[in-house]
Amino acid sequence: MPPKDAGHAPRRTVFATLLLLLGGGLLSGCQAALFRSLNATTGRHDVVVQRDVIYAPAHRLALDIYRPRDSRHAPVVVFFYGGSWKSGKRAWYRWAGEALASKGMVVVIPDYRLWPAVHLDGFMQDAAHAVAWAHAHAGEYGGDPASLFLMGHSAGAHIGALLATDAQWLSGVGMQPRQLDGFIGLAGPYDFLPLENPDFIDMFGTTHVAQLRSQPVHQVDGDEPPMLLLQGGDDKVVWPRNATSLAAAMQRHDEPAEVKLYPGIGHAAILLSLSRPFRGKSSALEDSVRFIRQQAKASAARAATSP
């Protein structure tokens, strides 16, 4: 990492060094340092931030909300961060919340319990409760609860995809996947059996039947929201076939799913391209905003013509 007296080095050089250290994935030591640097670039006057809103008192879980100033009936995006289901903090992603809010979205970034404190059922239940909270309270922050999207990176994309494909999770909080206007996954693992890592076997189950529950590709049944699956072509952490496999499963059920593959982009870079310093590395932010606006408009048109 750069020495403490490197404060006078050009910011671009510091970011480039951190990105090289991250390599293909997000390594825990450099992860926090990089996100601190990215958060130092935030502070937009057109974005209002509400931090530390409790959504699951029993587990002392909170979320942060980012919204355009004076927002009215804006699309709502619940963003789940990655970290191999083992690490991550919502505060690290202030830059991501601001990036989306600056484009007209109300953004909710929740914490969720992590392995080994919980396994699949634990963090999926937390995620479902966060979505239910957003649906119930978005209107208080200028959001439209009828225009609700899930978005995530890596493990967070897996969580969002499982919420969108396996109805058991949202039904536990009185919702259904069809209440979502869309899902956006950045470099998500959706089809990653067989499991070999002992941590993941403990996390998702020791039997093949149990492990199938963790695979979004095996949960698609034709009742999913539209999907935009964004993937780096050079991702060596989550292989691009995860996105194409989920899209194929959706298409077999006549469900809309679009895959965008960014050549030369790795696992971390697709996420970081949402930020100001790395904007332009991929069009992931622009593609996500386009998808959200298109789906929100289509949903509003359907609601206007329904009896």
Residue 284 lies in a domain: yes
Rg of the chain (C-alpha set): 18
Residue 160 lies in a domain: yes
- Residue-wise pLDDT for 207-256, tens only, equals 999 999 999 999 999 999 999 999 999 999 999 999 999 999 999 999 99
| % of the chain residues with pLDDT over 70 | 90
- Residue-wise pLDDT for 108-122, tens only, equals 999 999 999 999 999
Alpha carbon distances (Å) from 81 to 9, 91, 97, 263: 29, 10, 11, 23
CA gap 60, 277 in Å, rounded: 33
E strand or H helix at 110: strand 106-110
Residue 39 lies in a domain: no
Amino acid at 253: H
Q: Give the three-state DSSP class for 78.
A: strand
Residue 4 lies in a domain: no
Residue 38 lies in a domain: no
pLDDT surpassing 70 at residue 188: yes
- Give the model's pLDDT for residue 9: 38
| Total number of domains in the chain | 1
CB 142 within 8 A of CB 77: no
In the structure, what pLDDT confidence band is assigned to residue 21 with cuts at 50, 70 and 90? very low
pLDDT greater at residue 53 or residue 278: 53
Residue 20 lies in a domain: no
pLDDT surpassing 70 at residue 20: no
In the structure, what pLDDT confidence band is assigned to residue 275 with cuts at 50, 70 and 90? very high
Residue 183 lies in a domain: yes
Domain that holds residue 232: 45-305
- Give the model's pLDDT for residue 30: 67
- Give the model's pLDDT for residue 29: 53
Q: Residue 210: which CATH number?
A: 3.40.50.1820
pLDDT greater at residue 302 or residue 265: 265
Residue 25 lies in a domain: no
